Amino acid sequence: MFKLKKKHTVTFKRRKLLHIIYAYSLIVLFFITIYVIDHYVFTRSSYEINTIFYLIPIIAFASFTFYLFYTSRYSFSKIQQIKAKLRHVILFNKLYVTDKDTNPYKAVTSMKFKFYFQDHSLIIESYPNGAPYTLQSVSLAKKLESALSMNLTDIKHRSPHFVTYEFSVNKPDRIIVDKALLNDFDPLTIPLDSEKDWKFTNVPHGLIAGATGSGKTFMIYYLILQFAIRGADIFILDPKRSDLSSLKSSIPNASNRIASTPATMAKILREANDEMNKRYDTMFNKTDVELGKNYIHYNLKPIVIVFDEVAAAMEEDKKIAKEIDSYLKQLILKGRQAGIFMILSTQKPNAEAVSTVIRDQIGLRIALGQLSKSGYRMTLGDEWDELPSAETETGKGFVFLDGEGWTLPRPFEAPYLDFEGLNYRQELYSAMMNNR
């Protein structure tokens, strides 16, 4: 469809309606002149104008009309559409400088855009050239997003001379969870949508935030099932005793794997810490231990602890909350190499629920539904100035993945669990029994 990495350049180009009218007027005048000469001059002699001379203004009229259409935002060429839209951004935001004394219609200098396509993205580089509008180049994101009608996915400051914006050409496809997806999978990677994958062994632990009705629980269901088919030992901490606790019938030995009281939750976390330390003793208490090896190389199963509504657990028993917080920090800071992964969820992503120390070590962060600006920052990190545009309905929001080179969270739509076409409880039970 596109020639990869061929850069197209856009600079100041003012197309005034008056100039277009002048051009059409000249073509019409030329046609009238030929007609007058043919009918009122040559008719009195033996000469006549050949028909081809009448075709000249017609061809000029058609060619100029085609040129205007081809270079407009309505062009059938995707490249020309983008060029036209970027020219409008330059013009409407006055990202140019003219010499008013000589020619106010000719730019002395202007913002220069270069763009190219790479994989599923449109990459735009903006070059302000040190002009008075230079500072605007770092705040063009929303204007470009609106003009192009594309989702902004990243902003990268690669050089003092230009800023790079990345846009998604096509919206990623939402994952539909079915038998085929569950039977064909990468043991170390969980798909999030058609373009994003969570490599949990490299960027461990997950945080999911969202208010009631945001789709947070269904996202957790999806991750639990994905880890189950990968042979993980799964534990669930559910202080509210709600949806996740209802999975007891689908999880073997559920009484030791699902906890709802502060004491039982602390017990599971304490045992996980003990197991983590035991694994490290097994892996590294050898004189000839190989560097860079992790739990996979020792045939150890991953352990996944899903902690729903962390804030509720911390508020229920302040004394045990300190113990829980201590275990959480240990598991999140040290668990990756030992194959122990945490998935935390909360309605209120504040420091009381998830401390900064914990949050900064979490590789996958998802915010579903509408949150406050501070809620988004607590969930997704605070390295961004403004979020890109995204739908924030049920099951939709933002995602941020460490290790991908992103500087901005990206729009996200959670996988769809079709409970009518997929017996979730049966699939979960079968997966856990098969991997015991």
Known binding residues for ATP: 210-217
Give one word for 405, left, alpha or beta, with left for phi > 0 and alpha for psi -120 to 50: left
Cβ-Cβ contacts under 8 Å for 157 (sequence gap 6 or more): 138, 163, 164
* Residue 249: CB atoms within 10 Å: 9
Cite the beta strand spans of 128-239 per DSSP E. 151-159, 162-168, 176-177, 190-191, 197-198, 206-209, 233-237
CB 142 within 8 A of CB 386: yes
Angle ∠(193,199,204) on CA atoms, nearest 5: 120
Instruction: Concatenate the DSSP letters of all residues of 56-106 into one string.
Output: HHHHHHHHHHHHHHHTSTT-S-HHHHHHHHHHHHHHHTT-EEEETTTEEEE
Q: Which residues pair with 393 in a beta bridge?
A: none
What residues are designated binding site?
Answer: 210-217
Straight-line distance from the first to the last Cα atom of the chain, in angstroms, rounded to the nearest whole number = 48
Reading the block at residue 212, the tokens are 């009631």
Residue 429: C-alpha distances to residues 234, 343, 415 (Å): 12, 20, 20
Return d(Cα 321, Cα 262) in angstroms, integer: 8
Name the burial class of residue 301, with classes exposed (0-12), middle (13-18) and buried (19+) by CB atoms within 10 angstroms of its CB: middle
Cβ-Cβ contacts under 8 Å for 227 (sequence gap 6 or more): 190, 234, 302, 304, 341
The single-letter code of the amino acid at 300 is: L
CB 240 within 8 A of CB 433: no
Name the burial class of residue 244, with classes exposed (0-12), middle (13-18) and buried (19+) by CB atoms within 10 angstroms of its CB: buried
Residue showing tokens 């569950």:
182
